[in-house]
A and B are shown apart, each in its own frame.
Chain A
Amino acid sequence: MRLLTHNMLASNVRGATTGYPLKLEASNWCTKEVELNADFIRGLLPKIDWRALVAATRALGLPDLLPDEQPPEEEIFAKGAADVEGSAIRRIHHALLEIHVQQGSLTCPDTNRSFPIDKGIPNMMLHEDEV
């Protein structure tokens, strides 16, 4: 599971109000390089919950990958930014698409119900009495 998906995922357990954002814990994660596509990020960014993304990166022990506040779009999409090591767009791209959580859990902020992530796959299935 990548952080892009974490950003879209909520708990649907009975008793949850928003079930979002899910608290991420990871005992194992890895990175895989993906070509940066600025248009993809431009289209997606308005839908991204920045705070949830930042929280997820910090949960992985990456306190400096993303700043508390989302940088202005002019900065993110500045000409040539994609070619600059460490630029905002590169960091956002890395956070959303290059980090794969392999082993860990997602915890519902409202109910503390925890959903396992096993071999990269989160299991969001609920028991009958939880729906």
Chain B
Amino acid sequence: MADGDGAAAPGKLTELSIGGEKGLLRKGKASSGRTLNTAQIPLVASHPEVYEPCDDSFALVDALLSDKAQLLTLQPRLCMEVGCGSGYVITSLAIMLRQLGSGTQYLATDINQHAAKTTQATLEAHGVHADVIVTDIVSGLDKGLAGMVDVVVVNPPYVPTPQEEIGCKGIASSWAGGLNGRQVIDRILPAVREILSERGWLYMVALEDNDPLDICHLMSEVGYASRVVLKRCTEEESLFVLKFWQDPHAGTHASPKYSGSESWFSQLPFRSLWHKGS
């Protein structure tokens, strides 16, 4: 890894990432002077009702970093984050792809207007730009952006909670995911498929509890291949970053057999792991 900063402390994470950069530049690394690849925590804005960058945010950014070369080759025209919170992820993506200049433009949505403002401040503090919109998932943009977005990143509210907690005002809506933590995820996926371009990629965080294998199956039935870009176990949860892309053969694969998390993990990439260009 060209940017490997071997001395960075991995913190309390048990690192199991597949080819991901470890928790770099998180705390107190702002002044190292080298070319920065991610948003810097001291410059990330905050608000009491906005989700602070956490293990899941770092996992998503690390997954994007591990795919940086592919992302640069893809030269995405439009990139979008759904549920941008503090703006840490979309800002990091814009920094990572900075060399693509104005050939790549960024959009971000959040249902929480404080999050939208916080994201705006984080972007500004890093000298990058995204148009930020307060909306439910991509409501209002689905038709205009149909088939146009090349990269979508999502760290959804995925924590299993009682259904009533979903969409509550305030900070709870940043994690409350309803039954199996899937209620918001299951609305995000079809909405994102609308706006993804034919060559588009979706990166999404999911928890073991969300049944990532099932998510991959559902996506494969509608023509998307998938791969696990990163898996990370923290003290509280097993986090995955899944990547999806259109593959005309995706629905025709024999289903991998599910027999416990060890083996599903090894089977999940189907043949996609070796698939071209992803």
Contact = CB atoms under 8 A, between A and B. Distances in A.
Contacts of A47: 148
A121 interface: yes
Contacts of A37: 101-103
Contact of A123 (B101, B129, B134, B141): B134
Contacts of A7: 144
A5 B132 CA distance: 9
A47 B197 CA distance: 12
Interface residues of B, number: 26
Contacts of A1: 131, 133
A119 interface: yes
B141 A8 contact: yes
A2 interface: yes
Contacts, number: 75
Contacts of B267: none
Contact of B77 (A10, A34, A43): A43
Interface string A101-122: 0000000000000000001111
A1 B132 CA distance: 7
A7 B148 CA distance: 13
Interface in B95-117: 101-105, 107, 111, 113, 116-117
Given A4-B105, A5-B107, A34-B102, A124 B135 contact: yes
Contact of B134 (A2, A32, A122): A122
A4 B102 CA distance: 13
Nearest to B104: A40
Nearest to A93: B102
Given A12-B140, A39-B103, A5 B134 contact: no
Interface in B117-149: 117, 120, 129, 131-136, 139-141, 143-145, 148
Given A9-B140, A20-B143, A123-B134, 13 more contacts: A1-B133, A2-B131, A4-B105, A9-B133, A10-B140, A10-B144, A37-B103, A40-B77, A40-B102, A40-B104, A47-B148, A120-B120, A121-B132
13 contacts: A5-B107, A11-B140, A37-B102, A40-B77, A44-B77, A119-B120, A120-B120, A121-B133, A122-B134, A123-B113, A124-B133, A125-B111, A125-B113
Closest 8 CB pairs of A and B: A8-B144, A124-B135, A123-B134, A5-B131, A37-B103, A124-B140, A37-B102, A40-B103
Interface of B: 77, 101-105, 107, 111, 113, 116-117, 120, 129, 131-136, 139-141, 143-145, 148
Interface of A: 1-2, 4-5, 7-12, 19-20, 32, 34-37, 39-40, 43-44, 47, 97, 119-126
